[in-house]
């Protein structure tokens, strides 16, 4: 396996707030998520970033809803695809509730925002205990970083042993969530410059510039998270028909630069996931 040539692609198919009014093919139910997972795996994704909803289609961290979706996805794709559950607060959950969901689920992988779980100026002991528990339980975290300040905070936590992994997986967010968001490709390089070389970094970006941002990430040695959570459009401004079309676009563009899609098995090995 030539790790330098591998590209890991995750699909984030729905997010915390979008509905079918935003796109008729936005997957909400467990069955819809399973179909999307299978199609995105076939298109080149090695991981699905999973959000679930309650009966009113609101963001939830309910373990029962997660289990329903995970079971449906596993029935559709088997054990191959990496399923990463979100711990996003979305203005609803406190850190203890986010951690409680993970402890109840014990999933293979999670994403967590450092600014939510362990913001600067707060007691770090609870977060340190949680991060250590993740490591003991062989749960793979991806740390979400929104800014240079977040990256520096993460680097500090890692240097001080609060975050136990020497080779951590991080997600850089290029831009912010709002209705008119469009990420700027030029904003990526300053973020990457702050990332420690041993850490494995991914990128998500917003709006029709998503593909250009992903291309820049591929050139710089990063990995890609694409999908309707952050973007529903092709570079020409036309609406993408489904999530798998965005995965396929990222894979095709990366292939032109000599990087091929990692299988889930290769991605687990590359990220040091301990199954």
Integer Cα distance of 120 and 110 in angstroms: 21
Domain 3-270 CATH (choose: 3.10.20.740, 3.40.50.620, 3.50.50.60, 3.20.20.70): 3.20.20.70
Report the 10 Å Cβ neighbour count for 57.
14
Q: What are phi and psi of 57, to 5 degrees?
A: 65, 30
Enter the DSSP assignment of 11.
E
Q: What is the pLDDT of residue 3?
A: 62
Q: What is the DSSP string of 219-248?
A: HTT-EEEESTTT--B-TTSPBPSSHHHHHH
Instruction: Indicate if the alpha-carbon torsion angle 47, 53, 55, 60 is positive or negative.
Output: positive
Q: What is the pLDDT of residue 80?
A: 92
Give domain limits for the chain: 3-270
Q: What is the pLDDT of residue 2?
A: 56
Residues near 141 by beta carbon (within 8 Å), at least 6 away in sequence: 109, 110, 111, 112, 131, 134, 165, 168, 169
Q: Tell me the helices (H) and strands (E) count for the chain, helix number first.
A: 10, 12
Q: What pTM was computed for the model? A: 0.96
Q: What is the pLDDT along the chain (275 residues), one digit of tens a residue?
A: 456 789 999 999 999 999 999 999 999 999 999 999 999 999 999 999 999 999 999 999 999 999 999 999 999 999 999 999 999 999 999 999 999 999 999 999 999 999 999 988 888 999 999 999 999 999 999 999 999 999 999 999 999 999 998 899 999 999 876 556 789 999 999 999 999 998 999 999 999 999 999 999 999 999 999 999 999 999 999 999 999 999 999 999 999 999 999 999 999 999 988 65
Name the nearest CA neighbour of 112 among 143, 69, 133, 71: 143
- By DSSP bridging, strand 6-7 and strand 200-205 are unpaired
224: alpha, beta or left, given left = phi > 0 and alpha = psi -120 to 50?
beta
Q: What angle do CA 48, 251, 214 make, to 5 degrees?
A: 80
Q: What is the pLDDT of residue 122?
A: 87
Using an 8 Å Cβ cutoff, are 158 and 198 in contact? no
Using an 8 Å Cβ cutoff, are 237 and 201 in contact? no
* Rg from Cα positions in the chain: 17
């Amino acid at each position: 396996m030539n790790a330098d040539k591998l590209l890991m692609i995750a699909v984030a198919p729905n997010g915390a707030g979008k509905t079918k009014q935003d796109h008729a093919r936005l997957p909400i139910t467990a069955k819809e998520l399973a179909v999307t997972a299978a199609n995105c795996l076939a298109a080149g994704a090695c991981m699905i970033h999973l959000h679930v909803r309650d009966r009113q289609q609101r963001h939830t961290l309910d373990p029962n809803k997660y289990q329903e979706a995970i079971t449906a996805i596993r029935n559709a794709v088997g054990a191959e695809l990496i399923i990463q559950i979100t711990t996003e607060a979305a203005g609803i959950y406190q850190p203890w509730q986010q951690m409680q969901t993970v402890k109840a689920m014990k999933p293979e992988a999670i994403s967590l925002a450092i600014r939510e779980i362990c913001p600067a100026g707060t007691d770090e002991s609870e977060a340190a205990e949680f991060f250590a528990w993740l490591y003991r339980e062989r749960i793979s975290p991806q740390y979400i970083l929104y800014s240079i300040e977040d990256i520096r905070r993460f680097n500090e936590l890692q240097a001080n042993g609060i975050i136990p992994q020497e080779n951590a997986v991080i997600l850089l967010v290029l831009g912010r969530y709002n209705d008119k968001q469009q990420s700027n490709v030029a904003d990526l390089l300053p973020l990457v410059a702050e990332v420690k070389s041993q850490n494995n970094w991914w990128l998500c970006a917003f709006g029709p510039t998503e593909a250009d941002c992903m291309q820049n990430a591929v050139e710089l040695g990063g990995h890609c998270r694409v999908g309707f959570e952050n973007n529903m459009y092709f570079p020409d401004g036309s609406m993408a028909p489904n999530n798998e079309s965005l995965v396929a676009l990222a894979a095709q563009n990366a292939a032109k630069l000599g990087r091929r899609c990692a299988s889930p098995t290769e991605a687990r090995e590359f990220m040091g996931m301990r199954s």
